[in-house]
Amino acid sequence: MSGLGGLNKSPNGVVIGLVQLQLPNVVTADDLTVQCDRICQMVAKARRNLPAMDLAVFPEYSLHGLSMDTNPEIMCRLDGPEVAAFQKACQDHRIWGCFSIMEYNPHGNPYNSGIIIDDTGELKLYYRKLHPWIPVEPWEPGNLGIPVCEGPNGSTIALIICHDGMFPEMARECAYKGAEIMIRTAGYTAPIRHSWQITNQANAFCNLMYTASVCMCGSDSTFDSMGEGMIVNFDGTPLVMGSDRPDEIITAEVRPDLVREARIHWGVENNIYQFGHRGYVAVKGGAQDCPYTYMQDLVNGCYRLPWEDAVIHKDGTACGFPPPTRTYEERGVRSEGRGKAGKS
């Protein structure tokens, strides 16, 4: 059920609007200002579009377009004018918003970052994309983990970005930290359509969690983004699926209280619980070991595929980027808790 796209909001509901924003072409600082203003205008449209809407979600690359330009003049900062404009728009229109920025990084390549702002203009969640779409994207790998925050109507929300959603471990981490709604913003183009749909559904079902996902839309005369706003129920069933029409806002009501109920009461296919309690019918509490070699190797810094030496693409040279010369060094502050309010 989607409450007729959120027209009939229930007391426990959260109405989400996925903005299939027209793909821009941003080259200069002036272009960035114009596009920022346009996004703020779309926040106002979202509020006018549906008075019951709680959260408007804008796609990855909605501010910068798909050029992959790392020019410092068009990079953003958390304390910069673009984020301030988004905060004011959310406050003025009394609506939550999820936004995308390419974030200046003084230590290397920019970060591909996402933020969630509440209806008072307060920054509630700040995330840096963990898995850039290599070899196409030049962004620095994220270093803040996967935070969750308290969202509208007492919900718990996580945000991942585009290619992140192709890794089932990402959605599992969101759910493990308590997320009832996982947002996935993207700039994907049409060749990814099938993968987009099945991963959005699988991420929902495997974790008893709503997924709300949206891409950029339309053409910038070079790339064609696909739109495809999609909200999936926690049983993996799509509640609503968007088209390829730019600037369309796809809406639905989700019920986090039903997620909580399922996670407590489901027996069969309560996968997020059963993953850590293998065979609890036979063994008290289930087996709680880690039988997965790849997890152990990743933690120990020795992740290596059997076909590792044969892999062709190991840097961005195929897409015109020079080979990197520095190794990864984790930066930033990571919280060790599983709390809300944007903590890891």
Which residues are the active-site residues?
60, 129, 162
User: Which stretch of DSSP H or E encloses residue 171?
Assistant: helix 168-176
Report d(CA 98, CA 96) in Å as an integer: 7
Q: Which strand (E) or helix (H) includes residue 36?
A: helix 29-49
| φ, ψ dihedrals at 160, nearest 5° | -125, 170
Query: Is residue 234 within 8 Å of 205, Cβ to Cβ?
Result: yes
Contact 42, 80 (CB under 8 A): no
Give CA–CA dist 344/3, Å, rounded. Answer: 32
Rounded CA separation 255/259 (Å): 7
- Integer-rounded Cα Rg, in Å, for the chain is 20
> Which contiguous run of DSSP H or E holds residue 197?
helix 193-205
Distance (Å, whole) CA 294 – CA 305: 9
Helix (H, G, I), strand (E, B) or coil at 200: helix
Rounded to whole angstroms, the Cα distance separating 338 from 146 reads 10
CA 83 vs. chain centroid, Å, equals 17
Which residues, at least 6 apart from 331, have a Cβ–Cβ distance to it below 8 Å?
107, 143
